[in-house]
Homo-oligomer: A and B are copies of this chain.
């Protein structure tokens, strides 16, 4: 160890948000267009620096989330994702980003950004395919965030965070299908969800009709962990056959 004159190097801390939602049964992520260098004009995740050195990281994330979505932030799912702190990720200097994953229900069409910069929902598929020019290492962050969501759907009640309450089982299934990108059997899904204790609870209200028999309504249940888990179809063998049911 060296003399006590040495002091550790300071860094700048930002929060970045992977905000996911379902729009028309497609998984979408909220991206803004950068209005300044570096990466001027490219797409980026919503985020920004800490306001001051007394601001909690999670509060900074909540603040950004509220600014971008206009939502009452207390009710949305927000969790820490990972930290991205590579030396060269930001040309301005040593900027370390604390990435967060946020899940919100479908919002009224315009993103109620109080901010001037253009914000837009972009299909996850488009982003993951690399079709969007992303600033910094934000493509990596989005990729990690989506994978986190996919995994959490298996073991936690995260899917309910995508739904406006009350919701139907069919709506919940659409979440799974959109996030995982796989079709699921309606009937097995229905039984599975109802058999998982504390996942959903019946809503007092009646039913909702969409051209067929009205569906019962539910709300998120008390449990956050799914026992047993709702396992996604892992590609064990390249048996990618979608065995379709015979039309009757």
Contact = CB atoms under 8 A, between A and B. Distances in A.
Interface of A: 8-14, 49-58, 79-80, 82-83, 85-87, 93-94, 96, 98, 197-198, 222-225, 227-228, 234, 236, 238-239, 242, 244, 246-248
B239 A222 contact: yes
Nearest to A222: B239
A9 B50 contact: yes
A57 B85 contact: yes
Chain A, interface SS category? loop
Q: How many copies does the complex hold?
A: 2
11 contacts: A10-B53, A13-B85, A13-B96, A56-B86, A56-B248, A57-B83, A79-B244, A79-B246, A224-B239, A227-B238, A228-B234
Nearest to A56: B87
B246 A58 contact: yes
A12 B13 contact: no
Given A12-B8, A80-B83, A246-B58, A239 B198 contact: yes
A10 B10 contact: yes
Contacts of A197: 238
